[in-house]
Structure 1
């Protein structure tokens, strides 16, 4: 006999629960810690009435409902749309608040979680028991597989293949042998392309392919201590070299080659063309992922196309700071006051902008290049627009503006989120989204009065 948890969640939160999630809830799959990295699911009753502190309100986006954790503070979250639909599953990182799409459905996300585990191992190896049985590690993907049956004829049950990936490639080193030479990472590429052919976790899989294309032995082996040994500032200089090895000056190339005992062409090998192709596919599907726009913009700059770069960066600067994945892509080598890589690059390309583009008041917030006031100015910008939208009866626009006030660049004062979420609760309700209003109310209840 199955419980009616899905009905309870649907009624309490005004959600439209998809079939795979309903099965997860009603079959009480969440009671057993199965899964690769994400295996500690919240109890179904905690979705309806979360315990104090169980939602990272202010850090976690207010349209996100945490579902399964990894035991280290990170979560797979349901992202809820206007009509209460589960629009996607996102991986939310507690360390910086960044989020990455893991799939449109829970089944997709759990399948990608298994693939990530095989490709990289556990994100936090110290938390992983070496003796975990495979039926526990891959129990979640075994459950998810039938829910993808219309697509899985294009992909093999990859976790059952002994030869394939077990033990995986270390994080940030797919495609490099022990000597740092680029090899054909056929198993990794094959798996990622199988996921894409089956339309499973497409943004995440394309991101992996992009990172693989931009990986170099220099990036894999470098640490701040090495930069100090070589008398080079880690930021911005060394990090910019890890982002694009072509930025390594001629005067440093021989020194690096001798230090790492690798030929220059091996040490600095990247494939920007492949990375750009995947990024273009990402932005062809959605426009809210800053890392994709950053790569497209920089690829255009590399080939001498400033107008193409500007078009990409103008989209990228509008993406939330929490979806730029700056650490993995190594885009964090710009002056801090610009806030976003795209904003910094637009400043560098200022002479190529039209007058209208230069006069953009939103872009001007970043061009002031003042790290101490950037977040408060961005917050004020969005609040002003939210209040205007409310006054004009454009309540959905108001909700989106208040969302930007809190989660475009974030805010250092956690207490400021209380008022923002209250505004969002009111705007969502007036716009007709009972689900987002209720979810905002849950987030508000987790914040101190």
Structure 2
């Protein structure tokens, strides 16, 4: 397991078949906190923060809070010197509760409400990424007399990251950004520069999620630099910042490709320098926004087997006590994971299996093509690695199932970051 591309950096396989993360046995976590449970390796998170900081030494690394955010995570990010990207007043509220400095924050979103924008202005968020003409007008109306909001224009550069259609955002025809090809991005720039109450400080683009093609990021960087040159030629100003977004791919199963931060940094910084030299532009301050690439591999979800059936095709149908309410990604995107037995040794080879959830949907399948011990049985524990990103943050209460806890492990200790939801929590909101 050491060196595996999908398990946390501190994960170790024990002789008895158990697995430890952060020096804590997963069976001990299940016994103490119950299942399902999201386990998060704090050391793994911090190591990846540092890897991105090394990869972009002269730029800014902004953690994309939508991947996973709680107060402890915000504090880890702050301590490691990263900035923070939020996309709602709710995410901003968590950051404020952790006392994350506004001058190291930026806000995204294709449909930011007036409440979102007011919260960003009230907290002194350093940059707001504008996504529509209406947002420009709204910010001009909301801007205080004491300070001009600092804006980036989210540009749709027309670059396809060749990822799942549901998470493709760099091409025209989807809801994010202002098109470079249609002239909408150029018009947004004109409107901001015409407003004395607003300050255009740069451009932003984001190609989507789970992209493993560095060439796509380089193409986007070159197009964005060319747009900076057009702004200079038309308006006589050169916005000083360029944000190339995130979406850096992560392997969810052994052997799947992922992006190495060092390689990514070398190539992106080189592409920006080369393009700027060609257009005789000063190099902008570069920002990248990793989210999944920092927290995905740090997470492991532990489930308990509830039942085992034998399908006509010979597979085992292994039902666990969680499912699409704590991991909707297989149903949304066809995401594929690995699962393994923890806590005991296999006693007779393995078999093809599907790990299925407890919810009233035929599509509630966590791992459709697992290999599990032939003697897997109710009461066993299964661990699914690489579940730190877009699991807790996208969790639901479908079938009114309470959401699992998030538990941080480090140096042999475990502590709750987000407690397990209770039936009382569900009933508190039911006021009818």
TM norm structure 2:
0.27
Higher share in strand: 2
Q: Which has the higher contact order (CA 8 A, sep 6+)?
A: 2
TM norm structure 1:
0.26
